[in-house]
Amino acid sequence: MEQVIFKDLGRMSYQEAWDFQTQLHHEVVERKLALRKAEVMPSPPSSGLHYLLFCEHPPVYTLGKSGSMDNLLLDSPSLQQAGFEFFKINRGGDITYHGPGQIVGYPIFDLDRFFTDVHRYVRTLEEAVIHTLATYGLQGIRVEKYTGVWLEASDEKPLRKICAIGVHLSRWVTMHGFAFNINTDLTHFEHIIPCGIVDEDKAVTSLAKELGRYQDIDEVKQRLKHHFAQVFGFEFAIPVNTIE
């Protein structure tokens, strides 16, 4: 069974987290290439082969490589005045928001050790969140033509996105990942067209909004970790909660 090192990075700037996951991604790729050159595959797998990072960011907007600047509704002076950072990054997808009260997850997985299928990888990320939502009595769904996890529309509420997903792969090693709204300030989504979706019958939501009360984010993290291991079929190595 594959082993994954889990790191909860806590509150961290977007740039610092991006640099750190880029470093780990490079290490995983280089190790993989070295083993391939030596015609050796680790058995049992080394605990240094995969990582799962959780963190929270200060308020920041990120634009994927296929996104449009038109979906950012603030100019640079307004961004700075409101205290938001902005980054153009190399993941797929359009624009999204990261901020306090959100679980941002960065899996750095060598998919050669799981399955080499990008579509399946995204669906499996979604599945981990769907299983986690179920433990809170919420039914997460997928929506055709859109990534992420949603909650169904009702007579009182539109279709609502609770988790955004955007990934990048190089040599079948993943980076970037997902943003799961827990206690997120949803008013911060008003400054963008989230994921470039202009449909009036779609909105964003959070676990706290759906359940009507503030949530223990550490408890959500533990449940989410469990379901990640379950749906991907791995086990966690000894957790390390700080950057060494």
Strand runs labelled E in 45-101: 50-56, 60-63, 85-88, 95-98
Quickly list H helices, 3-56.
14-37
d(CA 43, CA 22): 26
Q: Can you give the C-alpha Rg of the chain in angstroms? A: 18
The length of the chain in residues reads 244
Return the percent helix, strand and coil in the chain, to nearest 5.
35, 30, 35
Q: Under a CB-based contact definition with an 8 Å cutoff, are residues 151 and 139 in contact? A: yes
- What are φ and ψ of residue 243, in 5° steps? -75, 130
Q: Which residue has the tokens 């033509």?
A: 145
| Residue type for position 193 | I
**Each residue of 17-26: b (16+ CB within 10 Å) or e?**
bbebbeebbe
Q: Under a CB-based contact definition with an 8 Å cutoff, are residues 179 and 104 in contact? A: yes
Measured CA angle at 85 (ends 209, 128), to 5 deg: 45
Catalytic residues: 195
